[in-house]
């Protein structure tokens, strides 16, 4: 991963501001890879948390607070709904994101855009709320935008559960089983940087997965280790995988 040389210094400055001003201060939205890099750096060095609005978020913010103080997230959640004569028509992710970008908003100022039951849900910086509330059209579809409580976000990805048995929890073995590849093909995919683990490219085939880990193979989809069930009677590792649909 190529990290901007100003990335960590900027986050360190946010942490210093949080201490000096005695309040929570948040970053722009980060990719999971950036967040993992920052988390590794600040672990044990600062009072911070990572938050994207919901558990499966792909874009998150880093919030810093004074040592020992509660971290208060100021994420804003907006619901974008079709209206008028085309009411009931589902919004498309690409068109909705394009309309938002058309307002002159940078990508790192907004988080996940989730299409759910025909409507769009957007996590954003509070400073952009008024601009986003002014959005009136997505493609040729008239829309309304309203702020809603974070607690009202009811989306959960569709996950199909599958039970598999493995000789070990090595990354290449799990990728092999999860994507129906030979072990050699899975190992090559890992070494070639085609596999991400919790948003970070991992090139170590022998890395052992843990419960809750999310991993993906480029152009093939995403999986999650839902639970580790222990050993089978034959001494194999029993794993419940989640397949995102």
pLDDT by residue, tens only, the chain of 245 residues:
566 788 999 999 999 999 999 999 999 999 988 998 999 999 999 999 999 999 889 999 999 999 999 999 999 999 999 986 555 567 899 999 999 999 999 999 999 999 998 899 999 999 999 999 999 999 888 999 999 999 999 888 889 999 999 999 999 999 999 999 999 999 999 999 999 998 888 999 999 999 999 999 998 999 999 999 998 888 899 999 999 98
Secondary structure string (H, E, C) spanning 1-26: CCCCCCHHHHHHHHHHHHHHHCCCEE
- Res 90: pLDDT: 78
Question: What is the C-alpha to C-alpha distance for residues 17 and 231, in angstroms, rounded to an integer?
Answer: 49
Q: Which of 8, 112, 19, 22 is nearest to 62 (CA)?
A: 8
* pLDDT score of 220: 93
Whole-number pLDDT of residue 1: 56
Q: Using the structure block, give the residue that is written with the tokens 């050993």.
A: 231
List, for residues 113-127, the tens digit of each pLDDT value: 999 988 999 999 999
Per-residue pLDDT at 177: 96
* E-only strand ranges, the chain: 25-26, 30-31, 47-51, 59-65, 76-82, 110-116, 119-124, 137-138, 141-148, 159-166, 195-197, 200-201, 214-217, 221-231, 237-244
What is the spatial distance between Cα 107 and Cα 52, in angstroms, rounded to a whole number?
14
Beta-carbon neighbour count of residue 102 at 10 Å?
11
The confidence score (pLDDT) of residue 85 equals 54
Contact 169, 237 (CB under 8 A): yes
User: For the chain, which domains are there?
Assistant: 7-65 (no CATH), 76-152 (3.30.70.330), 159-244 (3.10.290.10)
């Amino acid at each position: 991963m190529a990290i901007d040389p100003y990335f960590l210094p900027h986050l360190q400055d946010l942490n210093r501001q949080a201490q000096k001003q005695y309040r929570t201060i948040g970053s722009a939205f980060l990719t999971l890879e950036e967040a993992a890099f920052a988390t590794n750096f600040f672990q044990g060095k600062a009072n911070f948390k990572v938050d994207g609005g919901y558990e499966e978020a792909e874009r998150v913010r880093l919030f810093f607070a004074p040592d020992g103080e509660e971290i208060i997230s100021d994420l804003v959640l907006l619901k974008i709904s079709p209206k008028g004569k085309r009411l009931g028509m589902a919004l498309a992710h690409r068109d909705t994101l394009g309309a938002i970008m058309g307002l002159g908003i940078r990508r790192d100022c907004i988080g996940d855009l989730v299409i759910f039951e025909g409507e769009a849900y957007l996590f954003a910086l509070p400073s952009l709320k008024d601009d986003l509330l002014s959005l009136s059209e997505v493609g040729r579809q008239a829309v309304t935008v309203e702020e809603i409580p974070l607690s009202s976000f009811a989306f959960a990805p569709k996950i199909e559960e599958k039970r598999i048995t493995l000789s070990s929890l090595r990354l290449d073995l799990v990728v092999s089983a999860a994507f129906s590849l030979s072990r050699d093909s899975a190992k090559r995919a890992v070494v070639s940087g085609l596999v991400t683990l919790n948003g970070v490219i991992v090139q170590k085939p022998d890395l052992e997965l843990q419960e809750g880990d999310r991993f993906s193979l480029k152009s093939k989809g995403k999986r999650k280790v839902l639970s580790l069930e222990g050993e089978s009677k034959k001494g194999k590792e029993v794993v419940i995988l989640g397949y995102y649909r």
